[in-house]
Amino acid sequence: MTEASRRVIVITRNGKTTVISGWRAWVLGAGVLLGAWCALALIVFLLVGVAITVGVVLLLLIPALAIAALLGLLMRREP
């Protein structure tokens, strides 16, 4: 394996450097990628759910308000 294709992850915390290489680096990278994909899927799921909910509420609420306004106009008392 050449040096250019070798996978290395370097983490520095509190002045201590940890080097992760080889198959452990690949597993850690795959885990981070999987976690990022899951987080993105959760955000998309929540946003689509909010969009559907708002759409359904507006589809039901706007005609109901229009009907209530028309009934209010028809049933108002004339002095």
Between 2 and 44, the more confident residue is 44
> Pairing state of beta strands 16-21 and 8-13?
antiparallel
Structure tokens at 14: 């509190």
Cα–Cα distance for residue pair 7/27, rounded to 1 Å: 11
Q: Is the pLDDT of residue 54 over 90?
A: yes
Q: Is the pLDDT of residue 38 over 60?
A: yes
Share of the chain above pLDDT 90, in %: 65
pLDDT band at 77 (very low <50, low <70, confident <90, very high): confident
**C-alpha of 68 from chain center:** 37
Mean local confidence (pLDDT), 66-73: 93
